[in-house]
């Protein structure tokens, strides 16, 4: 159709400023490559990788073209032909050698667990912290464990946890992603757990959707994002938030919202706090503005990624809120960096942190 509805909302299009940086432009580049009308250059490769696969283009597409899948699969094709971003090569190496994208020692993966919290070897519920919460945003993992303990959930954390494969999957290393997914699925199924809860929107999408639908891996457990479990625990009276007189804006993570259609659970959890005023961003729910971190963009184009996050922070300032709340540690990290970039000290809470404060834990 070449209508161009996808151009304006695309965060990459906004920052690159050229047609080739928009979803429509990327589709035209792909057409040119498929028909040998153009040759692959470094500039074209950058355009194909400078996409967070956030999915806003699919939401805006009148005929409903599955652009995120197309943009992910072209990366798979580029990887097969050795056309990989240098930073993504390093991420791959880190995961292969240390089981996490940061290259941190695997033996330090559970170093975030507070010394006063003892966990059993086996339990009905497994908390899958994910790489981001294990190594970078440790407060998300710590606060989630505090909430699980306070609610009386029978849970544990596995010492054998490794990367779920999300970053590999979204940067085109599909074969390696399947290898890690298979290992994680075997680990989960062998532990006999009935429930898995994760704070990471990317892990949630992988475990809940990609494992069974893309890789044919069946998990013998129910998969919950922390927002969904927190809503359940609050409704059951196992967690009771106290008064917090705050005005907050909720940022929808792309992996949790557009990709998994979970918009309401985080909002209901926030609204369960007495005194909270929840304000919507100008673009929210299925039309939310991406924070700019996903799809390998932050690892390959760090400065642009943080600038995109800074634009979201500016929107929050215009709304006059006291804090930004999100439900993904990766979003929280990038939004905090965006706030630092424009020298704004607005707090960015990942949802478990907000609920820990509200419950006085």
The CATH architecture to which 87-232 belongs is 3-Layer(aba) Sandwich (3.40)
Euclidean distance between CA atoms 314 and 341, whole angstroms: 11
Euclidean distance between CA atoms 93 and 89, whole angstroms: 6
Alpha carbon separation from 200 to 317, 322, 326 (Å, rounded): 25, 24, 11
| Tokens (6 digits) for 92 | 């791959």
Give just the sign of the alpha carbon dihedral 208, 324, 353, 104.
positive
What's the predicted TM-score (pTM) here? 0.95
At a CB cut-off of 8 Å and minimum separation 6, what does 330 contact?
132, 137, 200, 201, 202, 253, 291, 293, 294, 298
Domain ranges of the chain: 11-80, 87-232, 239-358
Euclidean distance between CA atoms 285 and 251, whole angstroms: 8
Check residue 16 and give its pLDDT: 83
Check residue 189 and give its pLDDT: 94
Whether 328 and 259 have beta carbons less than 8 Å apart is answered as no
- pLDDT tens for the 361 residues of the chain, in order: 789 898 888 888 888 888 888 999 999 999 999 999 999 999 999 999 999 999 999 999 999 999 999 999 999 999 999 999 999 999 999 999 999 999 999 999 999 999 989 899 899 999 999 999 999 999 999 999 999 999 999 999 999 999 999 999 999 999 999 999 999 999 999 988 999 999 999 999 999 999 999 999 999 999 999 999 999 999 999 999 999 999 999 999 999 999 999 999 999 999 999 999 999 999 999 999 999 999 999 999 999 999 999 999 999 999 999 999 999 999 999 999 999 999 999 999 999 999 999 999 9
Secondary structure element (H or E) that encloses residue 247, with its range: strand 246-251
Q: Establish whether domains 87-232 and 239-358 are of one fold.
A: yes
Length of the chain: 361
Radius of gyration of the chain (CA): 20
The CATH architecture to which 239-358 belongs is 3-Layer(aba) Sandwich (3.40)
**Residue environment code for 213-247, b if the CB has 16+ CB neighbours within 10 A, otherwise e:** eebebebebebbbbbbbbbebbeeeebebeebebe
Check residue 17 and give its pLDDT: 82
Sheet holding 323-326, edge to edge: 276-279, 246-251, 323-326, 348-350
Cα of first residue to Cα of last residue in the chain, in angstroms, is 54
Check residue 8 and give its pLDDT: 85
Check residue 259 and give its pLDDT: 96
Whether 119 and 88 have beta carbons less than 8 Å apart is answered as no
DSSP states along 274-318:
TTEEEE--SS-GGGPPP-S-TTTHHHH-HHHHHHHHHHHHHHHHH
Euclidean distance between CA atoms 313 and 280, whole angstroms: 13
Euclidean distance between CA atoms 76 and 267, whole angstroms: 35
**CA-wise closest residue to 184 among 134, 132, 130, 227:** 130
């Amino acid at each position: 159709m070449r209508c161009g509805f996808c151009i304006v909302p695309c965060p990459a299009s906004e920052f690159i400023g050229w047609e080739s940086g928009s979803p429509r432009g990327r589709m035209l580049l792909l057409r040119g490559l498929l028909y040998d009308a153009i040759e692959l250059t470094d500039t074209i490769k950058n355009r194909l990788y400078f996409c967070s696969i956030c999915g806003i283009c699919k939401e805006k597409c009148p005929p409903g073209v599955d652009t995120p899948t197309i943009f992910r699969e072209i990366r798979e094709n580029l990887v097969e032909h050795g056309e990989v971003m240098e930073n993504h090569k390093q991420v791959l190496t880190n995961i292969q050698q240390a089981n996490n994208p940061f290259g941190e020692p695997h033996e330090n993966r559970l170093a975030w667990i507070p010394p006063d919290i003892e966990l059993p070897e086996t339990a009905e519920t497994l908390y899958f912290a994910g790489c981001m919460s294990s190594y970078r945003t440790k407060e998300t993992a710590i606060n989630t464990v505090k909430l699980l303990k306070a609610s009386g959930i029978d849970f544990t954390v596995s010492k054998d946890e490794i990367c779920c494969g999300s970053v590999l999957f979204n940067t085109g290393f599909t074969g390696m992603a399947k290898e890690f997914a298979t290992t994680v699925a075997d680990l989960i199924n062998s532990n006999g757990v009935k429930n898995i809860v994760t704070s990471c929107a990317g892990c949630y999408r992988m475990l809940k959707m990609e494992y069974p639908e893309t890789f044919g891996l069946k998990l013998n457990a129910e998969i919950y994002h922390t927002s969904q479990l927190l809503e359940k625990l609050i409704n059951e009276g196992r967690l009771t938030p106290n008064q917090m007189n705050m005005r907050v804006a909720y940022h929808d993570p792309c992996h949790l919202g557009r990709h998994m259609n979970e918009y309401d659970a985080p909002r209901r959890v926030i609204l369960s706090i007495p005194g909270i005023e929840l304000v919507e961003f100008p673009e929210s729910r299925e039309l939310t503005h991406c924070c700019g971190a996903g799809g390998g963009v932050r690892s390959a184009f760090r400065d642009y990624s943080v600038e995109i996050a800074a634009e979201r922070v500016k929107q929050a300032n215009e709304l006059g809120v006291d804090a930004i709340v999100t439900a993904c540690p990766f979003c929280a990290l990038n939004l905090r960096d965006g706030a630092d970039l424009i020298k704004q000290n607005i707090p960015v809470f990942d949802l478990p942190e907000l609920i820990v404060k509200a419950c006085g834990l």
